[in-house]
Amino acid sequence: MVLRALLVSADDGAIAILNSVLSEFAVTVQHCVHSSEIFCLPEYKLDVLVIDFDDPDQAISIVQSIQSSPFPPLIVAILKDQRSVRGAFAAGANFALYKPVSEDKARATLQAAIALIKRERRRCFRVPVQVPVQLQLENAKETEGIILDISEDGIDILTAEPICPSSKVRARFTLPNCADGVEICGEVAWANPNGQSGMRFVEVSESLRDTFREFITSHAPELPAEDPWQDSGCKLTDLSLGACYVETASPFPERSVIDLCLNVNETEVSAEGTVQVMHPEVGMGIEFASGTPAQREEVQNLLNLLTSCPGTLPKLRIAPRALSAFEKFKNEGASGFDDPLLELLRNHESLSQEQFLHELQQQRTPQEAVTTQKLSQTTSSLADIVSFS
């Protein structure tokens, strides 16, 4: 897999370090100093844009221009200090590096970015297929169509009549050489007047996701390689039924979807979440997916495992699933009680990183014993459950 990066900076020290680190990941790098040079570069699909925000107006202009391309890249902002990080994220940056850029911090950030790029390429890979599909749209009669291609995320459909974008739809179809039919809910992401439209899956069960992956793998001539990288150098510090906070030098972007895997005494449980707040080089706050009973059970299993093994050091691994949380993470599991950690994550934009971490620390109330029931009613530091020493 060939990855391409564009580095926009006049900082010689940062340029030398970033060129070195990107070469470690076999990324082809082009460098320019001024915004006018960008438009003189040959046109090709860009995977990563690393851009210096010393001149915020110029940087934002470049980011907006790049993002208008059909396949916008991941964006890494180079910043002078933490105070400008919210502005960079608002402008479209996914990751951030603070000056002076160090080799270790650059490697940790770019490693997470490249793992996410590779996962996105694989997730969005489409396999041509022609099978009939029955579609039930909201407040409309059932209609028929043909599936033109399929990815892990959705399907392209052709119907006799155009479908309105953002329509909710339920689709039923059977993939070639698959004994069981598929019934799945989705949302129309885009639609053309000729009747062709793209449906994005929502609320996909793990077994059905595996079915799509297996079909795509077996029918794809050149499927992008799967990146086995997982962030194993992270530490779970705060946990509630609705959310958690993880300390890591390689946090993922806000709104990205990730998988968490917790191992205690050779017992392993997993859960899915979306990043609500990302603190570069420090950590991230994750809201658990709880839109389905299976998702809520995953979170409860995390709590049960930790409370059943007091004094045991848990091992946590995190891997990216998708750049954007297409599915709405309705935290129904946290709707019946007060969840300070979840509320802190959801309202983080009004707080600086320092203020957020201070509030997080204030929520950590030592207790002599913490049960699963208590955890479902209040945010507690994991220091109350297991020893990290």
User: How is residue 346 written in tokens?
Assistant: 């959801």
Angle between helices 103-123 and 12-24 (to 10 degrees): 50
CA–CA gap between residue 51 and residue 107 (Å, rounded): 16
Residues 6+ apart with CB under 8 A from 346: 276, 287
C-beta separation of 171 from 183 below 8 A: yes
Per-residue pLDDT at 202 exceeds 50: yes
Three-state DSSP at 320 gives strand
DSSP codes, 169-181: EEEEE--TT-SS-
For the chain, the average pLDDT equals 83
- Report the amino acid identity of residue 16: A
* pLDDT score, position 44: 56
d(CA 299, CA 320): 18
Confidence of residue 337 (pLDDT cuts 50, 70, 90): low
Cβ atoms of residues 48 and 117 within 8 Å: yes
CATH superfamily of 127-219: predicted glycosyltransferase like domains (2.40.10.220)
The CATH classification number of 3-123 equals 3.40.50.2300
The pTM of this model reads 0.77
Task: Please tell me the distance from the alpha carbon of residue 173 to that of residue 182, in angstroms, as a whole number.
Answer: 5
> Binning pLDDT at 50, 70 and 90, where does residue 20 land?
very high
pLDDT of residue 375: 39
Beta strands in the chain (DSSP E): 3-8, 27-32, 48-52, 74-79, 95-98, 127-137, 143-150, 154-159, 168-173, 182-191, 196-202, 235-239, 243-247, 257-264, 267-279, 283-288, 315-322, 380-381
Taking a C-beta distance cutoff of 8 angstroms, is the pair 355, 317 a contact? no
User: The dihedral of CA 24, 25, 29, 32: what is its sign?
Assistant: negative
Tell me: the pLDDT tens digits for 40-68? Answer: 555 557 899 999 999 999 999 888 888 77
CA distances in angstroms from 51 to 34, 95, 102, listed in the order given: 11, 11, 16
Sequence spans of domains, the chain:
3-123, 127-219, 235-384
Do residues 88 and 5 touch, judged by C-beta distance below 8 A? no
Q: What are phi and psi of 110, to 5 degrees?
A: -70, -30
Give the residues across from 264 on adjacent strands: 267
Most confident range, picked from 128-137, 194-203, 314-323: 128-137
**Predicted confidence band of residue 198 (pLDDT cuts 50, 70, 90):** very high
Tokens 């707080």 appear where? 351
